Structure formats: structure tokens, C-alpha cells
Structure 1
Amino acid sequence: MTLAHRLGSRAVFALPAGALAALGHAPFGLWPVSLAGFAWLALIVSRSARPVSAGWLGGLGYFATALHWIVQPFLIDVARHGWMAPFALILLAGGLGLLWAAAAWVATRTRPRALGWVAALSLAELARGYILTGFPWALPAYVWADTPLRLASAWVGPFGLTALTLFATALPAATRRPLSGTALGALILAAAFAAGWTRFDLVPDPRGTVRIVQPNAPQDEKWDPDRARIYVDRAIRLSGEHGAPDLIVWPESAIPWPLDMAGPILEAAADAAGQASLVTGINRRTPDGLWFNSLVLLDGEGELADTYDKVHLVPFGEYIPLRIDLLRSMAGFSGFGFTPGEAVRLVDTPLGTALPLICYEAIFPRHGWDAGRPDYLLQITNDAWFGTFSGPYQHLDQARFRAAEQGLPLIRAANTGISAVIDATGRVTASLPLGTDGHLDAAMPRPLPPTIYARTGDRPTGLILLLTLAVLIVAGRRNAIANRASSS
């Protein structure tokens, strides 16, 4: 057996193939390496005598590499939670890898197996965005975040672009002539690249000014009673610096006291803002003891004009699924953490209607579909939980995809960075770097007309993938029948 045959058929090589496939994500951005990894993995799954093992190992390598930032929240308080860090990474990567193993098992029932792998894996990634509240972080489509190919998501969404990416990279394994398959895959991606490029010319001129405040409060200090006021005062000072913005935006939990105790701070913030409205993140509690992770809007008179409560909470970080007592200490507060808000809805601001996205909510393409079309997306986040290597950059890339998918600009205020203004094509027009404090005043980009994806959502992609998989399964059964007939 030649080395090339071993590399393309042994299940064990799926582990490094999956790891290579993840290198297209931030902070590496090595999308050509990622394409090679996906192509190698498709070859292994299609040829291996143990395709299910190959699928799981590929998923393990992919998610362990892409999601290694998941250990960072456990390192904020090492004494209490540090021991959980390696288990969290292994369990998360291994658990998500089971979806890839299931896709490989389905692919064994299809012909050609490489295309069955594409259809089944694309459906598995779609399911990952929905089941058990969903966790669509590090979708294969996101390797295109820094290229015009991200704009294909305006037509097919991130799950459709994931399917297109996997299809293009699997063609060498699916065809009898690998070079021809490679050329065809490259042609498909080049066409999508060119189509996406045309959307840059459609962006209208900006209108209005937004100020984003980045206080850069370390996670281990922002809730410390002896240190917290330092960063709140910094945010107030930055808000009052020279300029005339229409809207000032502070990040998630910028005020580390509950809303009912934060009156003097809100008054000081409103005074600093002058005539500008101000948005900030703050926790809210009710008389019956419920806690909410909230966004509040102060109008130009300093009055509380609106409140939005986060709907999509972080499992094990903001609430404990099924109330698992062993993990209660990881929730945001004593008891069982935060309560989800009642519904996603729009907030009226001086720059138009905004769809609020509090931190984790920005990773969900479907967030806010029922709320109506806003003028822009407004994300407030505290990415100090994610460390400084990959998590904050990947989170930003997902925000860029939300803008490109919907054809909407996005304002992003992050406690420690990366704060940014993003136009309706997902292009960053202004930003503050990670790990710095400061503010930026930027022109507010304007929206594009609703995209195809904004009107249709994920249903067309899901339906096409199901029909494709059904056809490939029928072809697989016919092939099996023909093989049995020829051998008898």
C-alpha cells in the first residue's frame, strides 16, 4: 500500500485532516489550508473501511482546533473551575464530533459516498444550529469571513455556504479524475467569489454618527467592588469626550450593578452623553428574584426609554440546563443564573430601529427573524470570557456574517474588544483593537434591501439537502442491489 493510499484511506488520518480544516478560522485565516483539510477528510471518509470512525475523528480534530478558546472561561477563576477546562474541550469537541460520525454513517448508504458525505455533513451542521438550543460556532462557511465569498451568504445563508464549500472540496474524491474535480470545485468557488464582489458596489453612503465606548475591564476585575468603579468612570469619561454623536454604545454588563441600584451611575452617564442617546448593558432583577442580562436605552433627556432582555442565554454560563446541581456555581449568579427574556424585539434609537444582539445571540443566523426587519443590528458583548487568541476574533467574524446575510449594518461594542462598525456587506469600516480602552466615532452605514436569505431563511437549504441526500441514498441502494446481482 502506497503512502498516498494510506493517507487517503486510513481513518486515523481524519484527525489531522479535521484540524487542518479548522485553520481557516480566525485568528489563522488560512482558508486554502482549510479547503485542503476538507478535501482530505472527504477522501478519507469516502475510501476508509471505518468511515464512521473517520467522521468522528475528523470532527474531533476540527472542533478541538477551532474551539480551543472554550477553556478560557474556566481559567478566569482557576482555583474553582480550572480543573474543568480540559474536560470541557474534550467533551465539547468529542460531542460535536458525533454529528460528523452520524453524517459519515449516513454517507455509507449513498453513492457516490463523497457527495453523500457532503449532503449529510451539511445537514448535520444545520442541525447543530438548532438542536438543544443550537451552537453554530465555527461553521465551515466562516473560513470565508475575510473574503468576498462571505457575501454568498446573502443568497444562501451560512448553512448554504457551508454546503457549497464542502461540495467544492469533495469533488476530487467524488470524481474519477481528481484533477478535473479540483478544477471544477475551484471554478464554483471563483464564481461565488465574483458574485459576492458585486455587492460591494451597492452599499449606500453612511448617515449619522455612532460613538462606541470600550472600557477594557478585565474579567477578574469588572465585578470586584474595589475595582469596578474605575472602569465605569472610564466609560463615562470616554462618553463625554469632544464630539457630537447621535448614539453612544457601551458594551454588555458595562455597569456591574443591577438596574435598580444604578440610578446615580446612569445619571452620570446621561450627563456625559449630553444630547446623545446612550445604550448600555446592565443586569436587571425583579422583585421576585429573577435576573436578566439586559440592554437599556437612555434618551437624550437621560430618561430610561427602553429595555431589552437577552433571550438566547449561554448554557452553563448564564443558566444551567435541566438545573444540574453540580454545575450551579458556574451560572451568572446564585441559584440558577439568568432568566431568558420573553421575546426578541426591535428597539427604536436615533439611528433607526435596531435588533439587539447581546453577546452569544450574534452567533445565531435565525435570531430575530420574527421581530421584523430593523435598520441595523446592535451587538453589545463582553468577550473578556474568550481570552485573547481566537475567541474574540471568531466572534467578530460571526457578527460580520450576520451583517452580510441580512444586508444590514452592525454596531458592535465589546468590553475588551474588538469593537467595530460593520457595513451591510460585512466589511469592518472602523474598529478598536483587542485589549485597549478608548472610543471611536464612526459614520453609521446604511442598510441594503432585504437579501434572499433574509426573506427565505434556512428552509430552502434544508429542503435541497434533504432531497439531494434522498437521491444519493436511492443511488446507493441501486448500487448495492447491482453488486449483489453481479456476485450471485
Structure 2
Amino acid sequence: MNPTLPVRGWRLAALMLLSGAFAALSLPPVCALFVLPLGLLVLYRAAEDARSWKQAALCGFLFGMGFHIAGLYWLTNAILTRVHEFWWVVPFASPGVSLIIAPLVAVPAVLCRLVPAGWRRVLMFSGSWTLVDMGRVFLFSGFPWNPLGSDLEFPGVVGDAFIQPASLIGVDGITLFVVLGALTVFRSRRAASAVLIAAILWGGWGYWRLETVQPLDVVNPRAVLVQGNVSEDEIISHQSAIENFRRYLRLTSKGVQQARDDGSSRPVVVIWPESGFPGLLDEDELARQMIEQAASGAPSLIGSDREKDGHWFNSLEAVAPDGHIEAIYDKSRLVPFGEYQPWILPFNILPGVITPGPGLRTWTLPDIGSLGPMVCYEIIFSGSVTERHKRPNWLLTISNDAWYGNSAGPRQHLATGRMRAVEEGLPVVFANNTGISAVYDGRGHEVSRLGWGLADALVTDVPPPLKATLFSRWGRAIPASLAILFMLLAFIPRRGQRAERVVFVPKG
């Protein structure tokens, strides 16, 4: 018989919160995977021991609150950039967002009680956790941040190997098996041995794929990622805007010169991050000419605000060598409570709102090639980073993580780009104002990086793409189907036995 938790009442509530926070240490950048089975085991036992479904739901909710508050603690830094206006929001930044998504954790805590204890209950918990976690994309504009599949994004080649199955099942499919393994490892010695063997096979297959998968015969450009390291206070206030613009021009000139020094025949493209240009680039012909002069004839991809017919857009603009704008991409997935205000708040906390663009696009431009542009937040959406039926040869996301300071936030954001690279089989270029800027090849292997808080230009060849992956063809239908299959298998009775009837016992 499984042991029961020896606590009740407020002690149980505190244990749930602490267990959730403890489990969050498994997320990037810490990736302490060994803490996840301990945290999930506490939640699982509490759900089993609960005297009613309501108590099980409460345990799940409290676990979710602890997990998301700890995992998203860095959201407070965004408020601190405007603390003189929104000082009263500081205590509610991370807890407020957690309050919205934590109830989803109550679902597996309740549903696992629908089936008898044992393997069927583990399958139900794993499948329902994954399915409701995938449902986070439907909350407002979506907030699928920190799925448990990202726990396997260890630094270096070990992490590269362990995330390769994302090419088949996506990060949500990895979440499914991570939860399954975490709940299985403590069941018995035999179960623990099975988890260990499965982990070795999982990593072994990943390492084999790393060594055998071949890139396509495509030559992508050489990228000059310009990281100006401009503080968010300066961006908001436009203080020292001219000086910061000149800094970006100097770094551009330096980076382009470096890119051409070795005589490579690759075309060069200059990339400035989100908020890189401190004005309205499409209305400033002189600024575009200055950028192209610094770029010495290389095309430039510049992050800038844009205004049209009274609507404001967060945009990426492609500037040709002669200074005219070849293409504009307007961010289509907006940050809730950051770029637009959901209906859930009856009062206004935003000084202005951004208008979403029409959706993902694939650009085919001279010296840039076939590119999938994105702005910041959009890279976190698994299965939704390329235009339908128009697969590009590389992905670019420009960002400004200065909001979140030197915290886990920028590193978790970067981890999403690494996972998208594996899922899609496409190189991902991540250009950030304050860092971290990086380039990943189509296997999720880091090619180059420019660290946090540095003002410099990162010069690197954009790797070629890989063949389209299974996940890139079928998307989230694969992990969703697997999660549903797990839940259905949980209802199949064991051979020779009739299905046990599970009755919820009323509290008291």
C-alpha cells in the first residue's frame, strides 16, 4: 500500500506550495531534473489521499501556484522598470499570472482519481497534465511558458541529445514522458530500473540523431547580431536616444567589417533587436540611410515601433541597401498584461496598447533568403512559428529582455528558441537588446552566443536547415493524440478483472 501524507490542514497547503516551488528548480536555467519527481510525488500522493475531489483540486491549485510563482519570479522585474507608476502591482506580478494558470494543475489531480490506483492512475495523471498544459495557448493570447518538457534542456551536448525527440513529438510530447517518468521512478525498484533504461535509450537515440542527421544543401547568410545593451528605462523615456542610435551604428559598422574580413562569399545581413531603433523607422528616411551606410551595403533587419491609422505595431522591418523598406512584419501574438490588457482586469494599467499583425509570414528577400520573422513572445508557441505551407530556411526572433533583468527570464526565453529549432529542424537566430543573443542549428545545438549585459556585435554564419521533421508536418496533433491515448488506456481494466468502480467520498 502506498504511504499517505502525514499532514493535513494548513500544513498540507504549505507543503503543496513549497513542493510546487521546489519542482520549479527543474526548469531552465537550473535544470535540476532530480527535484521534479519529488515535487510531483507529493502532489500525486495528496491527490490520492484527498477526502474529496474538491480537496484534490485545491492541492493541485496550490502546487500550481508554488510552481508558477517560483518559475516566473522574474516578472516582478518588468514592473520595477516603472515602479514609480505601478509600485502597487509589484507584489502581484508573478502571483497574479500564476493565479490564472495554476487552476489547470487541479485538473490532473482530480481526473487521476477517476481510475483505480496503480499504473492506470499514473497514465491518467500524465496524460491529463499534458493536455491541460497544452491548453495554455488558449488563455488570452496564450501563455505556454515553462512546459515541463523544457526540463531536459541541459547545457551542452547532453541537453542536445535529450531534446532530440522534440523533432518527433514536440516539447509537449516530452512533457508527457517526463511526467510519466517522474511518477514512475519511485513506484518500485523494477520501475526505477525501467525509467533508467528508458532514459538511456532516449538519450542514446538523441545522440545518434545528432551524429547522423544531415543538413540540406542551402546556404544561409552570415548574420551580424547587434546587441546595444540599452536599459529599459532609457527605451521608455527615450533618454539618450541619439547616443544609443549612434552606438548601434558603431557596432553595426564594426560587425559588418568583421563579417567580411575573412573573404567569405556568404551574403551579410545586419540584425537589430526589438526596440533597437528608438523611433518610427518607416517614417525616418535619414535614419535608414545612416543604418545602410553603417551596414556598407548589407540588408538590415531592424526592430522598430510603427504607427498606421492610429494603430501602433511592434514590428520587424527589412531595409534594403538603398534605404527603402522591402518588407514589414508586425507582431501578431501579443503579451497579455504587457502589450494588451485582457478583459479580466476592470481597470487600466497600460499606457497604450499594441495592435496585433495579420499572422506569421515567410519572407524571400535578396541576400537574406527564405526567412521566418518573429518578434519576442512569438517564439514560445510550439508548432506555431512558421507560416502554413511556406517553410522557411531559417527563423529569426528579435527580442528585448531588458524588462526582466539578469534573471531566469531571458534564459528561459532562449530555451524556447532552442526547442523550436529541434521541433522544426530549422536554425534559430535570437537577437536580443541586452542579451542573451544566440544562434542554434536545426538540431538545437548552440553555434554562438553573446552573453547578458554586453554591448557588441555577434558575427556568425546561419546554419543550413534540416529536412522537415515529423513534428513540423503534424504539429501539436502528435502530443495531443499521445496524451489522449494515455488517458484512454487508463480506463482499460486489467486482464481477468472487472473494472473497479471509484467513488468519491464526501468530505466529512
In the superposition, the TM-score normalised over structure 2's length comes to: 0.87
1:323 and 1:22 map into 2 onto residues whose CA distance is 26
1:130 to 124, 128, 138: 138
Q: Which residue is equivalent to 2:381?
A: 364
Q: Which residue is equivalent to 2:19?
A: 17
How many equivalent residue pairs? Answer: 475
2:350 to 316, 330, 334: 330
1:108 to 113, 122, 126: 113
Q: Which residue is equivalent to 2:271?
A: 249
**Contact between 1:23 and 1:33, CA under 8 Å: does it hold in 2?**
yes
Q: Which residue is equivalent to 1:157?
A: 170
2:39 to 34, 37, 40: 37
1:88 and 1:195 map into 2 onto residues whose CA distance is 41
More deviation in 95-104 or 289-298? 95-104
Q: Which residue is equivalent to 2:421?
A: 403
**Counterpart residue type for residue 430 of structure 1:** S
- 1:433 maps to 2:435: no
**Contact between 1:203 and 1:446, CA under 8 Å: does it hold in 2?**
no
Please list, as runs of the form range in 1=range in 2, the aligned pairs for 1:28-427 lying within 5 A after superposition.
Answer: 28-49=30-51, 50-111=55-116, 112-146=120-154, 147=159, 148-172=161-185, 175=187, 178-201=188-211, 202-204=213-215, 208-241=221-254, 242-243=257-258, 244=260, 246-286=268-308, 288-322=309-343, 326-327=347-348, 329-331=349-351, 333=352, 337-349=353-365, 350-367=367-384, 368-370=386-388, 372-427=390-445
In structure 2, the CA distance between the partners of 1:482 and 1:38, relative to structure 1 (3 Å rule), is: closer
- SS of the equivalent of 1:151 reads coil
**Counterpart residue type for residue 275 of structure 1:** G
1:132 and 1:83 map into 2 onto residues whose CA distance is 23
- SS of the equivalent of 1:322 reads coil
**Counterpart residue type for residue 340 of structure 2:** Y
Give 1:323 shift. Answer: 9.1
Give 1:74 shift. Answer: 0.8
**Contact between 1:284 and 1:294, CA under 8 Å: does it hold in 2?**
yes
Give 1:40 shift. Answer: 4.1
More deviation in 6-15 or 367-376? 6-15
- SS of the equivalent of 2:430 reads strand
In structure 2, the CA distance between the partners of 1:230 and 1:438, relative to structure 1 (3 Å rule), is: same
- SS of the equivalent of 1:232 reads helix
Q: Deviations over 1:370-425 (max 9, x none)?
A: 25211011010000112211100000001111111111101111000001111111
**Contact between 1:283 and 1:293, CA under 8 Å: does it hold in 2?**
yes
Give 1:358 shift. Answer: 0.2
1:483 and 1:345 map into 2 onto residues whose CA distance is 51
Give the share of equivalent positions with the same residue, in percent.
29
- 1:458 maps to 2:463: no
Q: Deviations over 1:282-323 (max 9, x none)?
A: 11111x201111100112333211111111011121112239
In structure 2, the CA distance between the partners of 1:441 and 1:52, relative to structure 1 (3 Å rule), is: same
**Contact between 1:203 and 1:424, CA under 8 Å: does it hold in 2?**
no
- SS of the equivalent of 2:413 reads helix
**Contact between 1:311 and 1:340, CA under 8 Å: does it hold in 2?**
yes
In structure 2, the CA distance between the partners of 1:26 and 1:156, relative to structure 1 (3 Å rule), is: same
- SS of the equivalent of 2:501 reads helix
**Contact between 2:4 and 2:45, CA under 8 Å: does it hold in 1?**
no
1:27 to 26, 29, 54: 29
More deviation in 316-325 or 8-17? 8-17
Give 1:70 shift. Answer: 1.4
1:440 and 1:341 map into 2 onto residues whose CA distance is 29
**Contact between 2:269 and 2:298, CA under 8 Å: does it hold in 1?**
yes
Superposed CA RMSD = 2.7
1:210 and 1:281 map into 2 onto residues whose CA distance is 15
2:335 and 2:382 map into 1 onto residues whose CA distance is 16
Note the residue ranges of structure 1 that are not aligned, 5 or more in a row.
none
**Contact between 1:203 and 1:425, CA under 8 Å: does it hold in 2?**
no
More deviation in 312-321 or 392-401? 312-321
Q: Deviations over 1:37-70 (max 9, x none)?
A: 3344334434444422221122111111111111
Give 1:222 shift. Answer: 1.8
1:99 and 1:482 map into 2 onto residues whose CA distance is 22
**Contact between 1:216 and 1:231, CA under 8 Å: does it hold in 2?**
no
1:438 and 1:203 map into 2 onto residues whose CA distance is 32
Give 1:479 shift. Answer: 4.4
In structure 2, the CA distance between the partners of 1:481 and 1:411, relative to structure 1 (3 Å rule), is: closer
More deviation in 244-253 or 411-420? 244-253
In structure 2, the CA distance between the partners of 1:280 and 1:3, relative to structure 1 (3 Å rule), is: same
1:285 and 1:26 map into 2 onto residues whose CA distance is 36
Give 1:95 shift. Answer: 2.4
Q: Deviations over 1:320-378 (max 9, x none)?
A: 22395622x425x3xxx111111211122424211111000011113235252110110
- SS of the equivalent of 1:212 reads strand
Q: Deviations over 1:118-140 (max 9, x none)?
A: 11111111111334332110100
In structure 2, the CA distance between the partners of 1:372 and 1:170, relative to structure 1 (3 Å rule), is: same
In structure 2, the CA distance between the partners of 1:120 and 1:365, relative to structure 1 (3 Å rule), is: same
More deviation in 401-410 or 342-351? 342-351
Note the residue ranges of structure 2 that are not aligned, 5 or more in a row.
261-266
2:195 and 2:189 map into 1 onto residues whose CA distance is 10
- SS of the equivalent of 2:235 reads coil
